[in-house]
Amino acid sequence: MSTFKDADEVYAYIGKAMEACVSDPKFVEATKDGTLVVLIKQTDPESYILVDFPGQKVLVGDAAAAASSTVQLRMSSDNANRFWQGKLNFTLAMAQRKVKLDGKRTTAMGLLPLTGPIFETYKAILTEAGREDLLVG
């Protein structure tokens, strides 16, 4: 059984964390001159989040799926929930085929060390929404 009830929950929590991510000064600085647009395709429930770093905007759902991206990241919503709390080893997950990354991903991989503060933001979003059940111990 999935962590999230439906795609709307994914957008409400992970989508919101991504909105904080694109306006975070460290991410803005690291991506401002680039073309990094990441399409996060999640399974179970199926959902799409487009994170446009240079444009500092986030799209979700059909609009995200239809937009063009430079990097495509696939993972289950459960693993996304763990990843955005800093509880998923990305390299191990790739080796175990739990995560798939396609496209121009050098910049995307370079952003991994910057993700720390986003973990806290995501956990704060879950807590604020009363969804402690989604927090991974």
Partner 1 sequence: MTESITEAEFDKVFAEAEKLSEFFREIGPKYDTENTFAYPSIEAFKKSGLGALPVPKQYGGMGGDLLATSKVVSELSKGDSAITLAYNMHYIMVGITMGLMSETQNKYWLGRVADGDIMFGPFSEQRAGFSGLADMKAIPQEGGGWRLYGKKTWGTLCEAADIITTNATITDADGNLPENFEDRVNAESFFIGEFQVDENGQGDGISIVKTWDALGMHATGTQTIVFDGYYVPEDGFICEWRSGAFGVLEWASLMFASIYLGMQSRILEESRAVLSKKTLGAVFGATVAADVKVSNVGHIIDGVGDMASRYELSRRVLYRTCTEVTEGYDDNWPMELRFPYIGLAKTFIADNVMHMSRHAMSMVGGSSFKKGAIFERLYRDSAASMFQPLNADQSRTFIGEQLLAPEELED
In the complex, the residues that contact partner 1 under the rule CB under 8 A are 43-44, 74-76, 78-79, 89-92, 94-102, 104-106, 109, 112
For partner 1, the closer of residues 29 and 44 by Cβ is: 44
- CA–CA distance, 102 with 26 (Å, rounded to integer): 24
CA atoms within 13 A on the CB side of 74: 10
Q: How far is the CB of 111 from partner 1 (least distance, A)?
A: 12
Q: How far is the CB of 117 from partner 1 (least distance, A)?
A: 17
Q: CA 72 from chain center: how many Å?
A: 11
Strand partners, 100: 74
For partner 1, the closer of residues 16 and 98 by Cβ is: 98
For partner 1, the closer of residues 9 and 78 by Cβ is: 78
Strand partners, 38: 51, 71
Pairing of strands 37-43, 71-76: parallel
H-helix or E-strand containing 3? none
For partner 1, the closer of residues 97 and 130 by Cβ is: 97
Q: How far is the CB of 22 from partner 1 (least distance, A)?
A: 22
Q: How far is the CB of 73 from partner 1 (least distance, A)?
A: 10
